Amino acid sequence: MEENMSRYKEIKAAILGAGTVGGGVYKLIGRRQDELPDKIQAKLTVSRVLVKNLNKKREGIPSELLTDDWESIRKDPDIRIVIELMGGIEPARTYILQALEAGKNVVTANKDLLAEHGKELMDAAERSGCDLYFEAAVGGGIPIIRPLKECLAGNEITEVMGIVNGTTNYILTKMTKEGMDFGEALGQAQKLGFAEADPTADVEGLDAGRKMAILASLAFHSRVTFQDVEVKGITKITARDIQYADAFGYVLKLLGVARSEDGQIEAGVSPVMIPKTHPLANVNDSFNAVFVHGDAVDDAMFQGRGAGEFPTASAVVGDVIAVARNMQYDCCGRIGCSCYKNLPMKPAGESRHKYFLRLIVEDRTGILAGVAGVLGNNGVSINQVIQKPAVDGVAELVVITDKVETRHLHDALVIFGEMSMIREVASVIRVYTQK
């Protein structure tokens, strides 16, 4: 073994962060040690692992590799690949910029950072002629970044949609299949480790929003940041909404939808009712999926594990192998930033969607006429209505609209808020329609 290996040159990498993903990447590189030379014509060695706390034991990582000194990695000319798996904005941002400046290639899974500072990082990579790969930032183990940047590069992509947060997909699946309410399903997700103690980033859609910023930037060749993505979470979704969705032939998912139309981009994350026949409707539990529509490829979908130690490590190690192959041919930095356009975001309120409205109303005559009148006056046309028999003087009125400009719906909702006959606008949920 040793002898066979000796004819190969050695490529040294450092891992920043020894949490779940960092540990997984270290282990997976170890597991593939014998085969890597066949893949990259080199030996790949992790020579340093950066941690905050040197005293904490890291299962599976030899303690002599651990360091808390970034400078020792930055200044080591033998370390040619930096694998950033710390997460968060700082110090990850500074370390990546410094690594690139030092001529090191970078692989990262850091969606927060890319969604906010993507341009700065890509520019730095271009200046240095280094690779900056980030397959693991969206969809965990699912190959989607490179398929978008490379395999589908012949397309004009007009839509990219995704179930890109496993926690919320798990919660909604439980609510749908077992009739749980949100709190119960969240509790179970936390118990099983699918949701964190503070689930805000997941259930409020922030995590999905960051991933959609990255996907939209790649799909439309124009920089979309997290701030550009309209985000709405699932905390107000009730079992009742899900029952209605089912009755109308829909499944409720937390869906990221980004579209490019007439030279403008819209990108959002929100609960969406999608037809049961849509491929995304069957993506359940903690699985993720990304759906792409291009003018040549038509519809394509990629699904798999969106998180977890080894699925994420799969994406990271795939990137490391790509970088190593580039290094061997001296062609790092070959495929850099693909945002060669500068498209504006569509102004808020101008996007056109179909909506499901659930209103709690008083049980008296004229309600339907009143509601229909307000909608009509605001240019919101009605597609379907269901009025349920009243219980204790309170009735439920469900309206599915046609496709309307969101601002018109908002105008109508403001008026609903002032009408005494309407006790509560219980739900306003987007319904999927094709572009």
Alpha-carbon Rg of the chain, whole angstroms? Answer: 24
Smallest distance from a second copy to CB 106, Å: 17
**Residue 146 within binding range of a second copy, rule CB under 8 A:** yes
CA 435 remoteness from chain centre: 21
Rounded to whole angstroms, the Cα distance separating 388 from 383 reads: 17
Give φ, ψ of 114 to 5 degrees: -65, -35
* Number of residues near a second copy (by CB under 8 A): 59
Q: Which stretch binds a second copy (CB under 8 A): 74-82, 148-156, 184-192, 371-379?
A: 148-156
**221, 230 Cβ separation under 8 angstroms:** no
Smallest distance from a second copy to CB 272, Å: 19
DSSP state of 1: -
Task: Name which of 150 and 261 has its Cβ closer to a second copy.
Answer: 150
**Residue 151 within binding range of a second copy, rule CB under 8 A:** yes
Residue 191 designated active-site: no
Q: Which of 46, 311, 374, 406 binds a second copy (CB under 8 A)?
A: 311
Structure tokens at 291: 């759906």
Smallest distance from a second copy to CB 348, Å: 28
- DSSP H or E run through 303: strand 298-305
Give φ, ψ of 327 to 5 degrees: -60, -40
**Residue 323 within binding range of a second copy, rule CB under 8 A:** no
Q: Which of 152, 345, 374, 404 binds a second copy (CB under 8 A)?
A: 152
Task: Name which of 271 and 294 has its Cβ closer to a second copy.
Answer: 294
Distant-in-sequence contacts of 278-283, Cβ < 8 A, 24+ apart? 278/432, 280/161, 280/163, 280/253, 280/255, 281/250, 281/251, 281/253, 283/163, 283/169, 283/253
Site string for a second copy, 213-232 (x = CB under 8 A): --------x-----------
Site string for a second copy, 242-281 (x = CB under 8 A): -------------------------------------x--
Task: Name which of 136 and 255 has its Cβ closer to a second copy.
Answer: 136
Rounded to whole angstroms, the Cα distance separating 34 from 1 reads: 8
Name the active-site residue from 104, 149, 174, 211. 211
Q: Which of 1, 296, 369, 391 binds a second copy (CB under 8 A)?
A: 296
Q: Which of 190, 235, 238, 328 binds a second copy (CB under 8 A)?
A: 328
HEC assignment per residue over 261-282: ECCEEEEEEEEEEEECCCHHHH
**Residue 20 within binding range of a second copy, rule CB under 8 A:** no
**Residue 369 within binding range of a second copy, rule CB under 8 A:** no
Smallest distance from a second copy to CB 400, Å: 25
Count of alpha carbons within 13 Å of 95, Cβ hemisphere only? 28
**Residue 190 within binding range of a second copy, rule CB under 8 A:** no
What beta strand segments (E) does 52-121 contain?
Answer: 66-67, 79-84, 105-108
Give φ, ψ of 149 to 5 degrees: -75, -25
What beta strand segments (E) does 51-125 contain?
Answer: 66-67, 79-84, 105-108
Q: Which stretch binds a second copy (CB under 8 A): 6-14, 30-38, 116-124, 181-189?
A: 30-38
Segment 31 to 70, residues that bind a second copy, using CB under 8 A: 31-32, 35, 38-39
Handedness of CA 136, 137, 139, 145 (dihedral sign): negative
Find the Cα–Cα–Cα–Cα dihedral 367, 373, 376, 377, rounded to 10°.
-140
Smallest distance from a second copy to CB 332, Å: 9
Q: Which stretch binds a second copy (CB under 8 A): 206-214, 293-301, 363-371, 420-428?
A: 293-301
**13, 79 Cβ separation under 8 angstroms:** yes
Segment 108 to 137, residues that bind a second copy, using CB under 8 A: 135
| CA-to-CA separations, 390 to 359, 364, 394, in angstroms, rounded | 12, 9, 5
Smallest distance from a second copy to CB 134, Å: 12
Residue numbers at the binding site for a second copy (CB under 8 A): 24, 28-29, 31-32, 35, 38-39, 135, 141-143, 146-147, 150-156, 221, 279, 282-283, 294-305, 308, 310-311, 313-318, 320-322, 325-326, 328-331, 334-335, 338, 340
Q: Could you list the active site residues?
A: 211
